[in-house]
C-alpha cells in the first residue's frame, strides 16, 4: 500500500490519487465546491485537500498521512 502525505496539490494530482479522469473528478467535487472554495492559483490548499478527502472518502490502495495538527474526527470510508 502506498502512502501519501497531505500537501497542497493540483487537480491532476488528486485525479491520479483517486484514479479517475478530469471529467469524473470535477463531477464528484461539484456538489462540494462552495465548501471546498476556490483554488489558490493551480493548487488546492491542505485544508481544501482534507475537505475533498472527507467528502469523497479515502482513495483505494493509498494510506493518507495527515498533517500533525489535523486528525480526522471520524473514520472515513474508502471509495469502492
pTM value is 0.79
Q: What is the pLDDT of residues 2-41, one digit of tens each?
A: 888 889 999 999 999 999 999 999 999 999 999 999 999 9
pLDDT computed for residue 80 by the predictor: 43
To 10 degrees, the CA torsion angle through 33, 55, 79, 10? 50
How many other β-carbons are positioned within 10 Å of the β-carbon of residue 10? 13
Cell readout for 34 is 462552495
Question: What average pLDDT does the segment 38-61 reach?
Answer: 90
Rounded-to-integer distance, Cα 27 and Cα 72, Å: 24
Amino acid at each position: 500500500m502506498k502512502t501519501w502525505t497531505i500537501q497542497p496539490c493540483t487537480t491532476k494530482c488528486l485525479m491520479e490519487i483517486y484514479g479517475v479522469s478530469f471529467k469524473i473528478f470535477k463531477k464528484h467535487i461539484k456538489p462540494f465546491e462552495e465548501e471546498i472554495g476556490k483554488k489558490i492559483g493551480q493548487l488546492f490548499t491542505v485544508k481544501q485537500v482534507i475537505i475533498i478527502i472527507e467528502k469523497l472518502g479515502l482513495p483505494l490502495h493509498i494510506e493518507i498521512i495527515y498533517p500533525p495538527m489535523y486528525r480526522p474526527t471520524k473514520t472515513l470510508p474508502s471509495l469502492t
